[in-house]
């Protein structure tokens, strides 16, 4: 029971062309680009997912048809160890 109290639902939304395969990868899922797939909503090109994460600070990107994108709606970002930008969220 205590474990569930330490976790929180976080919802992500991403806009792209309709009919794409959209995933989210980040430090919360070991950067697995095929683990957390977003679902296209009834609005074509709008994708969403709600995930459970423990409290903490996380870096992430969206993966659309194997191309990585920062979150254009999130102004918080960080440079990773390869010099690329990642989006950041804190729970």
- Cα–Cα distance for residue pair 62/14, rounded to 1 Å: 8
Count up the domains in the chain and report the number.
Answer: 1
Sheet holding 46-54: strands in order across?
A: 7-15, 46-54, 39-40
Residues 59-87 have pLDDT tens digits of 999 999 999 999 999 999 999 888 999 99
Residues 8-44 have pLDDT tens digits of 999 999 999 999 999 999 999 999 999 999 999 999 9
Q: Could you give the count of Cα atoms lying within 13 Å of 48 in the half-sphere of its Cβ?
A: 9
Q: Which residues on adjacent β-strands are paired with residue 15?
A: 46
CATH number at residue 81: 2.60.40.10
Asked whether the beta carbons of 89 and 44 are under 8 A apart, the reply is: no
Residues 46-55 have pLDDT tens digits of 999 999 999 9
Q: Which range of residues forms the domain containing residue 29? A: 2-90
Entry pTM? 0.89
């Amino acid at each position: 029971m205590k474990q569930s109290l330490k976790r929180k639902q976080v919802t992500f939304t991403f806009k792209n062309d309709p009919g794409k395969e959209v995933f989210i990868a980040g430090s919360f899922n070991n950067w697995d680009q095929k683990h957390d797939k977003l679902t296209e909503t009834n609005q074509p090109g709008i994708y969403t997912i709600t995930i459970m994460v423990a409290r903490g600070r996380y870096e992430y990107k969206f993966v659309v048809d194997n191309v990585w994108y920062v979150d254009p709606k999130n102004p918080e970002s960080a440079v990773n160890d390869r010099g690329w930008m990642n989006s950041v969220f804190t729970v």
